[in-house]
Amino acid sequence: MNYPNGKKKPTVRKTSDKTNKSFSNRGMTLEDDINTTNNYYLAINKAVIHKKPTPIQIVNVHYPKRSAAVITEGYFKQASTTDYNGLYRHKHIDFEAKETKNKTLFPLANIHDHQIKHMELIIENGGICFLIIRFAAYDETYFIQAEKLISYWKEKLNGGRKSIPYEIIKQEGYLIPFQYQARVDYLAIIDKLYF
């Protein structure tokens, strides 16, 4: 079979899956799955949660064609806080999402000091704050309360571990099962923990 542009379709090898793992959302990134989930929440009027845009200052633009512009130079205006925020059941929701290929741990270097400070402020002001981590190797996504993340962060600053072991995340976090419409149904965990 050929594509409309005349190129041949690449052949796909069939392999047997002896590990019996679910690869239903393979190829989707965590961000795509969360965006799809948030769109579903909005469509059924369950919550209003959006990805925050990263503030960028555009410095230089190249116009190779009249109809196309290419940004060739830009800078972050300020350090961003967390990836997502919004409202659910009259509560402010704020969270960061991270995906790792590491099989044994989540490196705390993936979180920044200004993000921890932001999370602390959200909690102090009555909001619900958390981290969603996907271990790509296992196709597992976990919900970690910000309070737990902050305690590991403080241990790191005092000379402790520079990561959170996968086994601890499995014990202290909450596994978010993959679903069709709400792919990363983190609100189900918020309902259990906060309401």
Q: Which residues are annotated as a binding site for Mg(2+)?
A: 81, 83, 96, 115
Q: At what angle do helices 113-124 and 146-157 cross, to 10 degrees?
A: 140
Annotated binding site: 81, 83, 96, 115
Calculate the alpha carbon distances from 65 to 59, 61, 62, 70 in Å.
Answer: 19, 12, 9, 10
Distance CA 193, CA 111 (A): 23
Q: Which amino acid is at 126?
A: G
53-70: string of b/e by CB count within 10 Å (b at 16+)? eeeeeeeeeeeeeeeeee
Please report which residue ranges of the chain form alpha helices under DSSP H.
30-43, 113-124, 146-157, 166-172, 186-194
Contact between 133 and 142 (Cβ < 8 Å): yes
Contact between 182 and 41 (Cβ < 8 Å): yes
User: In angstroms, how far is CA 38 from the centroid of its own chain?
Assistant: 12
Locate 121 and state its tokens: 């402020």
